[in-house]
Amino acid sequence: MKKADIIIVGSGIAALQLARRLQDHFYVMIITKDEIESGNSFLAQGGIAAPLGLKDSVRAHLKDTLEAGCYHQEEESVKELIVDGKRIVESMVDDGAPFDRNRDGSLALGMEGAHSEHRILHSGGDQTGKYLVKHLLKGLSGKKVEFVEGQMVYELVKDDRGHCCGVKTKDKDEAIRYYYAPHIVLATGGIGGLYPFTSNHPAVTGDGMALAFLAGAKLSDMEFIQFHPTLLWSEGKTCGLISEAVRGEGALLLNDEGKRIMEGVDSLMELAPRHIVAECIYKERQKGKDVYLDISRIEDFQRKFPSISALCSTHHISIEAGRIPVSPGCHFMMGGIVTDRAGRTNIPGLYAIGEVACSGIHGANRLASNSLLEGLVYGDRLGEYLIRSGVTHSPRVHSPIDQLVEGESLHIPFQPDELKRGMMNHVGIIREENGLLAHLNWLKKQPLTFHEHLDFNSREEIHAYFMWVVSLLVSESALLRTESRGGHIRADYPGEDQDGWFKRKIILQNNEGRLRVGYHEQNEIKIYA
C-alpha cells in the first residue's frame, strides 16, 4: 500500500499539466497502465488552437467553437476556455515551448476545418503531441512527482463517507496493489479502442469512464463521438491518422473517379466540420468507391508532415504519387464524466480532466485542435483549485479503511473484437434504431452486471469488461437521442430537433447495479430510475 497527496490516473497532456502545476505544493503520483510516453496525447499530430493571430480574436474562436459544437455548449464556459487557453499558450511560448515558427521568427499558425482564422500552433510539423509531452515532462521534478508505470487501475476505492480515497490496480504480472490519496484525478482519455477503425492508441478504451460510472459518478453526452474523416486506409484497415492540417494546406478529397466529393455538400468543402466530412467519405465508401486525399498541390509535403510521410512509407503508400487512401475512424469523445469548471465530479474526492471528462465545452462536435487546449486549461484550473483548497502535505486518506471489500469474480464470455465490430456496424458514423437495438440486445445477453467491487483473473478481462460497460452507455444514449446533431447522426432522425433536444443532455448513473437515466435541462439534472 502506498500513499500520496494526489493521485492522477493517466499520463497525457492534462495529467502532466496538472502535475506541473502541483509539484511545488504536493506529493503527486501519476499511475498509467502502459508507459508514460504512450497514449493519445503523444500521438497527436494536430496542434493547439488559440487566438494569437493579428486578425484573430477570442470572439471569433468562440463563434467557431459554438458552431462546430452545434450550440450544445454553455457559451460562457467556452469563452472562459478560450480566454484561459490564450493566456496559458502565451505563457508556454514565453517558457520556450517548441512551437514551429516562420522564417521571420513569428509563430507559424495553421488552418484546420471549421476555423475561420489561422490559429493552430504546431510542433515538429505534425508531431505536436510528442513535442509537448516531452516539454511538460522536462518541467517535472523527480522529487515530488512519482511515476508508476504498468499499473492498470480497475477500481476506485471510497471510504465509509463515500469519499474517493484510493485506487485498486493490477500490474503486468497480475498482482493487485492499492494506492491512497485524499484526491483522485482521472485523466485517462477517450474511447477510440472500442472501434476497429480509430486514430487512438489501442489501449484507450474508456477505462476512466467505466471506473467513474461503476463508482456512481454521472456521465453525459456519451452519444456524441467524433469520427476523424481521414485515417490512412491500407489492406482493409485503418493504419493511423492523416491530420486535418493536410486539408488545411490545400489537399482535396477525391473518389476513385477523380471527383471532388465535397462539392455541393458544404460551402467550406474539405474544411467543413469533421462530422460532415466523415459522413460524406463514409457514404462514398458505402457505394463501393475508394476515397483519396489529393496532396499534389502541397509543396514540401515531407518537410511539413514528416510523421505522416513516414506512416505512408511504412504502409507502402507513395507520397510522390500524390494520393493517400483514407477512411473515417473513431477519433474523439465529446461526452464523459460530468464535471464542473474545476474538474470536480459528483463524488467527493474524485476529479476528471481532459477527454475523459464532459466539461460541456465541445458540445455535439469538437472544433479541431481544441482538445490539447482543453487539457492544458483544465489541468491548470484543477491545480489552482487544489492548491487553494490547501490539501495536506502529509499523505493520508479521508477515513482509512481497515478492511478492504473483496469483489466477486466475473468471467468475460466474448472477444473484444466481436464488440468492436458491433460498435462500428451499429453505433458508428451513421446509426438507426434497429441497429442500435441489435447491439444493445447483444450487450445485454452477456451475463455481466454493473458492480462496484469486482475481481478479475487478468488485465485482459478488466479491459473487456470496461469495454462492455462503456459500449452499453454509448449505445443507450445513442438510442435515446432521436435526432441528428454533430457527431451523433441518426439515419431515421436526420435533422436537428430544436424543440425537443436543443441543449438537452442525457445523464447516466449507476445506482446499485442499475442504470439510471435522466436529463439535464435548464441547469437542473433530473435522474429517473
Q: Which residues are designated catalytic?
A: 274
The three three-digit cell numbers of residue 476, written as one number: 443507450
CA dist., res. 198 & res. 214, Å (int)? 25
Bridge-based pairing state of the strands 48-49 and 120-121:
antiparallel
CA distances from 343 to 51, 216, 325 (A): 24, 16, 39
Output phi, psi for 183, to 5 deg. Answer: -135, 125
Spatial separation of the C-alpha atoms in residues 65 and 61, rounded to whole Å:
6
DSSP 8-state code for residue 161: T
Q: Using CA atoms, how far apart are residues 185 and 183, in angstroms rounded to an integer?
A: 7
Q: Which three cell numbers stand for residue 221?
A: 453526452
Neighbour tally for 372: CB within 10 Å: 27
Of 30, 152, 52, whose CA–CA distance to 110 is shortest? 52
**Three-state SS at 452:** coil
CA distance 353 to 356: 6
Cβ-proximal residues to 145 (8 Å cutoff; 6+ apart), any chain = 19, 23, 28, 29, 30
Instruction: Compute the distance between CA of residue 157 and CA of residue 215 in angstroms, rounded to an integer.
Output: 8
> Does residue 42 contact residue 104 with C-beta atoms inside 8 Å?
no
- Give 106's DSSP letter: S
On whether the CB atoms of residues 157 and 168 are closer than 8 A, the answer is yes
Residue 70, classed as helix, strand or coil, is: coil
Distance of CA 130 to the CA centre of its chain: 16
Q: How far is CA 221 from the centre of its chain?
A: 13
Going by their DSSP bridges, the two strands 176-180 and 2-3 should be labelled as parallel
Side chain identity at residue 381, one-letter code: R
Rg (CA), the chain: 22
- Give all strands (DSSP E) within 317-378, no chain letters: 323-333, 336-338, 350-352, 357-358
Residue type, 310: A
